[in-house]
Chains A and B, each alone.
Chain A
Amino acid sequence: MKQYYQPEIETAPREKILEIQNEKIVKQVRHVWDHVPYYRHLMEEKGITPEDIQGVKDIPKLPFLSKADLRDAYPYGLLGTDLKNCVRIHSTSGTTGRRVVAFYTQADIDLWEDCCARAIVAAGGTNEDVVQVCYGYGLFTGGSGLHGGSHKVGCLTLPMSSGNTERQIQFMMDLESTILCCTPSYAAYIGEALAERGYKPEDNKLKAGIFGAEPWTEEMRREIEKSLGIKAYDIYGLTETSGPGVAFECEEQTGMHINEDHFYAEIIDPETGEVLPDGEMGELVFTALDKEAFPLLRYRTRDLCVLSRKPCSCGRTHVKMAKPMGRSDDMLIIRGVNVFPSQIETVLLNEGYTPNYQIVLDRERHNDTFDVYVEVSPDQFSDLMSQIQRMEKSLENALRTMLGIGPKVHLVAPKTITRSEGKAVRVIDKRKLHD
């Protein structure tokens, strides 16, 4: 039997969802205009007033917000309500530049926890489950988001936070946890730790895991599912948009349903900012439709992904987003094809090369040239020219298969790829010189 936390909205007809979104966005834009001078100024610069926004179809008229805006506005510049109405903050790790601090009213916390509850029920959670939350608690959103969602579903919640694997395993076994919430890498680690202690996958009572907050691959999913004997579900979110639960996976495991009654998603061309049609890859942009304290409109996540509105077998009607491909900052467009340096790195490692490479892009008679310089390692070197040329060809073929576009491969001697500040310069784009 199919289970939903809020069936009337999760399986609502598309017209109903649109109606809700239209009603919310009109109110939200007015709210932001009245309470957030920073954004009001951006709207005024574009010549937009709240009257211009009659529904979600008008969202593309609104200005974007970027991570840089959030840093500029730190800490209170994007606050959408009086501080006395706020009950909590969360914050990004701030590893690069200034931290982002997000504010929450009680209503914001409620809607966020509802989203997490939807994710838990989609993973098979009921009030009979024991949910072990080993995301970090504290400023990080992971712990409190899933913790709150677990409460809403009525699960027995184990607020473990991260680390102390010995204790995690003891509670998991003694209290018979059935759902594990943590980062995929920690799930994989727990799997290994259980095996080291002689536990087989069937020895634990876990049935599902809800894993997010970092990128992970399908291969990693299968590995975790095997080592823990569970079904592993992906979950997506950002501190800027509240936290995990903005989108979550259902049993189909073919993408994450975005909670569209709270978050409106667009895919844009990261270069031009144009909205792209469904099915095309681009940068994910979120508009919070009813958050009060930190009401971001058109926030550029820099995550690249694809949206799909194909009907889902789970019965949910909300749009699905694919696992993000990478950061838009890294994406190259070569002869109209999107290429990520990380894809090239994957091929190199698969083919036995070191990840020392450099991509050089240039333009010749209006066509992009695409050259990849790769350092040869001692165990690949041969005194036979034919063998080295075969290696070059074979690497070119592997890259063409992965990227859908063929680069010219140049093998070079070790330590010859330019390094600055100890780090290799991955991309040299000379095309800009010609523009």
Chain B
Amino acid sequence: MAITQISMFLNNQPGQLVEAVGAISAAGSNIRAMSIAEANDFGILRAIITEPDRVCPLLEQKFLIMRNEVLAARMDDRSGALHEILTVLNEGNINIEYMYAFTGTGPEEAYVVFRVSDVRTAEEMLQANGIATLSDDTLKL
């Protein structure tokens, strides 16, 4: 199962990020994870937020946003855990566009979010190697 990520196109100007995060908060949504990619003129805010189905239409009124599916894999909190996951994907010729990590609510719970070209294949490979992936439900989004 993949999870829902939202991406927002933001102009690279003071106040843009606070406005974007403020809008998510005003919609009553919690940001579980986020990362920002920036270029000279613009940035892309990528976030895993709670209740994306309800919140996205509200954000769309003010921002250029898109939804897509990303993989979130459970990772043991120990040395070498990320390396094992990347090795599996590499052997399966899965190209990773970008990734970011976040911690869960329980102890020793860590997750890594992958944006890959082929979500289904990547997911199968991970599961075949005993690596759990999350869904919107399991993450309680």
> Inside 8 A of A389's CB, which chain B residues have their CB?
39
Cβ 8 A contact of B42, one of A378, A386, A412: A412
Q: Decide if A433 is an interface residue (CB 8 Å cutoff).
A: no
**Chain A, 383-420, contact with B by CB distance < 8 Å: what is the 0/1 string?**
11110110000000000000000000011111010000
Contacts of B115 in A (CB 8 A): 383-384
Between A384, A386, A414, the greatest number of chain B beta carbons within 10 A of the residue's beta carbon is seen for A384
- CB pair A413–B37 under 8 Å, yes or no, is no
Q: CB distance B9 to A413 under 8 Å?
A: yes
The interface centre, meaning the residue of B40, B41, B46, B98 with most chain A CB atoms within 10 A of its CB, is B41
The yes or no answer to A382 lying at the interface (CB within 8 A) is yes
A412 and B41 within 8 A (CB): yes
Whole-angstrom distance from the CB of B70 to the nearest CB of chain A? 9
Please state if A412 and B11 are interface contacts (CB–CB under 8 Å): yes
- Contact A383–B11 (Cβ < 8 Å): no
Please tell me the number of chain B residues within 8 Å of chain A, measured between CB atoms.
Answer: 20
With known contacts A376-B9, A381-B9, A385-B37, A411–B66 Cβ distance under 8 A: no
User: Residue of A at shortest CB range from B8?
Assistant: A413
CB of B63 closer than 8 Å to a CB of A: yes
Q: Are B44 and A413 in contact (CB under 8 A)?
A: no
Please report the C-alpha to C-alpha distance between residue A414 and residue B63 in the assembled complex, in whole angstroms: 8
Q: Which residues of A contact B39 (CB under 8 A)?
A: 385, 388-389
CA distance A411 to B68 in the complex (A): 21
Q: Does B122 contact A (CB under 8 A)?
A: no
- Beta-carbon nearest neighbor of A383 in chain B: B7
Taking CB atoms, residues of chain A closer than 8 Å to B5 are 383
Complex-state Cα separation, A413 to B41, whole angstroms: 10
Known: A378-B64, A378-B66, A381-B64. A413 touches B46 (CB 8 A): no
Q: Does chain A have a CB within 8 A of B97?
A: yes
In the complex, chain B residues 1-57 whose Cβ is within 8 Å of any chain A Cβ: 5, 7, 9-11, 37, 39-42, 44, 46
Among A378, A385, A410, point to the contact of B44 (Cβ < 8 A).
A385
**Closest residue of B by beta carbon distance from A375:** B64
Chain B residues in 8 Å Cβ range of A385? 37, 39, 44, 98
Q: Does B10 lie within 8 Å of A413, measured CB to CB? A: yes
Q: Which of A381, A383, A414 has the most CB of B within 10 A?
A: A383
Q: Within 8 Å CB of B42, what residues of A?
A: 388, 410-413
Across-interface contacts of B66 in A (CB, < 8 A):
378, 381-383
* Closest beta carbon of chain B to A385's beta carbon, Å: 5
A376-B64, A383-B68 are known contacts. Are A411 and B7 too (CB-CB below 8 A)? no
Do the beta carbons of A383 and B64 come within 8 Å of each other? no
Tell whether A413 pairs with B64 under 8 Å between CB atoms, given A385-B44, A388-B39: yes
CB-CB contacts below 8 Å: A37-57 with B: none
A411 / chain B contacts, CB cutoff of 8 Å: 41-42
| Contact A416-B37, Cβ < 8 Å, known A378-B64, A383-B115 | no
Contacts of A413 in B (CB 8 A): 9-11, 42, 63-64
Contact indicator A384/B64 (Cβ below 8 Å): no
Q: List 26 A-B contacts (CB under 8 A).
A: A378-B64, A378-B66, A381-B7, A381-B9, A381-B66, A382-B66, A383-B5, A383-B44, A383-B46, A383-B66, A383-B68, A383-B115, A384-B98, A385-B37, A385-B39, A386-B97, A388-B39, A389-B39, A410-B40, A410-B42, A412-B11, A413-B9, A413-B11, A413-B63, A413-B64, A414-B64
**Which A residues have a C-beta under 8 Å from some C-beta of B?**
376, 378, 381-386, 388-389, 410-414, 416
Given A382-B7, A388-B39, A388-B42, 19 extra CB contacts under 8 A = A378-B66, A381-B7, A381-B9, A381-B64, A381-B65, A381-B66, A383-B5, A383-B44, A383-B46, A383-B66, A384-B97, A384-B115, A386-B97, A411-B42, A412-B11, A412-B42, A413-B42, A413-B63, A414-B64
